Amino acid sequence: MENILSVKQIKKSFGGVHALKGVDLTIKKGETHCLAGENGCGKSTIIKVISGFYKPDGGTIEVDGKVFPVMTPAEAIKAGIQVIYQDFSIFPNLTVIENLAFNQVLANKKKFVNRKEFRKIAEDAVRKINFEVDLDALVETLPVADKQLIAISRALLDNAKLIIMDEPTTALTKKEVSRLFDIIAQLKKNGVTILFVSHKLDEVFEISDSITILRNGENVISCPASEMDEEKFTYYMTGRHFDKTEEEVFERKIGNPVLEVENLSAPGFENVSFTLHEGEILGVTGQLGSGRTELSMALSGMLKPTAGVMRLEGKEIVFASVNQAQKKGVSLVPEDRLTEGLFLPQSIIDNITVTRLDDIAGAAGIVSRNKVIEESAKWVKDIGVATKNHEFPVSTLSGGNQQKVVLAKALATNPKVLILNGPTVGVDIGAKYDIHHLLKELAAQGMAIIVVSDDTAEVIATCDRAIVMQAGKVTGKLTKEELNTQNLASAAD
């Protein structure tokens, strides 16, 4: 089988940091090739080199037999390379038609817009992948999955030979992932090659024909997917062997009730009831729009309940704010760490200790910088935040380490109940293992924990039992023995 892409000894440095140290990547025509690696391994950099966004410091790029010492964005598109980034690079304030036809109009340097021509271009684009959508709808009104399919349709308009999908399933439900995989299979039949960038094990093995793994800007392995298994994949990604017997280490007893919820309702869900005990990890799962996020917000003071009762250690509670919830002992790790959990330009120190300033301040209300540094250093060590200096901006950290900072900030409030909404979204395998390990350790110490997640593997791996939600209602309650992929999927449908 011929190669659609062959990059050899690609090097790229930023200042004194070597992002790529002579990376090779070969992709065969008509295959789905997975590019994997932890955050910071060089995946994004090599994609930007291939697409012409970055000029490499060394190496060659060969596309369909033609060698490019340096690739420009225009040359990449002309060669049939299209990149679909996580934000899809579409215009939310324009219609589907306008998003699909815009590039062709610009490419043809047309001065006037022909609405009939626009519509025909859009109709031809969506027909290629059997995508049914209201062409006159504003893109901002559409679900994430449809936005992604618009990006794919647009790529095909430019005669894409190689489509690079960067973490394409991050914001998709299980059903939407299945739909995307069906479309990838269809694209392959039509001769389109896919470079699938991901670190989700189940998806990698389901969709990939071959795999390349990078670590620290270097090749670790390239092989057919059939020669890879979960244990090897994890080791090549992280350079670590994970202990599969950790359940025996964290033997714990389920203690007294800590949080009791009776017929709780708020915008997004209704009549939710459960009891959470000391040392217990309760899963709350369901697809996008199930009400799981709204429930986490209501429990933590971000959303005002409209009905029902909450009791904390037997006392009825009503939280007027997140701050009040934290002071009472309920702390939330929010779903989006970048917009809800972190002050990105600020230091790691300030991000971790912001919830503790009142406690750290002296009688005169003056905050001791030494105490702030001491508090931060404790959490950096205990949580395992990988940083050379905790005075660096939190924006300098990888996604996994940023998530650990958000978790440290929540734990610094000394919560009785810790709620985590999507605790490992967008983090790599090593960080995911570390966070799961920490949650089990905290539960063993008696903390009551709620894990809100649509990742069934995460719920099964971490939780003692789970409630399943759909359309704002609880549709299933599963014990530890009942927690499996089939039961979770059945309750969520």
Superfamily of domain 3-238: P-loop containing nucleotide triphosphate hydrolases (3.40.50.300)
Kindly tell me if the per-residue pLDDT of 204 is higher than 80: yes
- Please write the tens of the pLDDT for every residue from 64-110: 999 987 889 989 999 999 999 877 788 889 999 999 887 666 555 66
What confidence score (pLDDT) does residue 89 get? 82
Kindly tell me if the per-residue pLDDT of 245 is higher than 60: no
Kindly tell me if the per-residue pLDDT of 171 is higher than 80: no
What confidence score (pLDDT) does residue 372 get? 81
Q: Residue 13: pLDDT band by 50, 70, 90 thresholds? A: very high
**Element spanning 20, H or E:** strand 17-28
Asked if 3-238 and 246-492 have one fold, the answer is yes
Phi, psi of 169 (to 5 degrees): -110, 10
**Token pair 């202990």: residue:** 243
What confidence score (pLDDT) does residue 107 get? 57
Kindly tell me if the per-residue pLDDT of 311 is higher than 90: yes
Q: What is the pTM of this model?
A: 0.73
Please state, for a pLDDT cut of 90, what percent of the chain lies above it.
51
Output the six-digit token pair for 148.
Answer: 């992604």
List the one residue out of 315, 271, 250, 288 whose CA is nearest residue 449.
Answer: 250
CA atoms within 13 A on the CB side of 158: 28
Question: Residue 474's beta-bridge partner residues?
Answer: 469
What's the mean pLDDT in 142-159? 87
| Cβ pair 306, 267 in contact under 8 A | yes
Phi-psi region of 54 (alpha: psi -120 to 50; beta: other; left: phi over 0): beta
More confident residue, 478 or 357: 478
DSSP state of 2: -
List the one residue out of 319, 332, 353, 340 whose CA is nearest residue 449.
Answer: 332
- Please write the tens of the pLDDT for every residue from 416-469: 999 999 898 877 788 888 889 999 999 999 999 999 998 888 999 999 999 999
Kindly tell me if the per-residue pLDDT of 356 is higher than 60: yes
- Please write the tens of the pLDDT for every residue from 23-71: 999 999 999 999 998 877 899 899 999 999 999 999 999 999 999 878 8
Kindly tell me if the per-residue pLDDT of 248 is higher than 50: no
What confidence score (pLDDT) does residue 364 get? 61
The CATH number fitting domain 246-492, selected from 3.40.50.300, 3.30.1540.10, 3.30.420.40, 3.40.50.1860: 3.40.50.300
C-alpha span between 219 and 407 (Å, rounded): 32
Range scoring the smallest mean pLDDT among 167-171, 231-235, 249-253: 249-253
| Cβ pair 129, 151 in contact under 8 A | no
* Cα separation of the two ends of the chain: 41
Kindly tell me if the per-residue pLDDT of 395 is higher than 90: no
Q: Residue 244: pLDDT band by 50, 70, 90 thresholds? A: low
| Cβ pair 273, 264 in contact under 8 A | yes
What's the mean pLDDT in 283-308? 93
DSSP state of 112: S
Q: Residue 111: pLDDT band by 50, 70, 90 thresholds? A: low
Kindly tell me if the per-residue pLDDT of 411 is higher than 80: yes
What confidence score (pLDDT) does residue 1 get? 61
C-alpha span between 63 and 29 (Å, rounded): 11
C-alpha span between 441 and 476 (Å, rounded): 27
Range scoring the smallest mean pLDDT among 79-83, 165-169, 218-222, 450-454: 165-169
Locate the domains of the chain by residue range.
3-238, 246-492
- Please write the tens of the pLDDT for every residue from 269-278: 999 999 999 9
| Cβ pair 47, 10 in contact under 8 A | no
What confidence score (pLDDT) does residue 265 get? 97
Q: What is the mean pLDDT of the chain?
A: 88
What confidence score (pLDDT) does residue 284 get? 96
Alpha-carbon separation of residue 263 from 259, 307, 308, 318 (angstroms):
13, 7, 5, 14
What confidence score (pLDDT) does residue 158 get? 79
What confidence score (pLDDT) does residue 339 get? 77
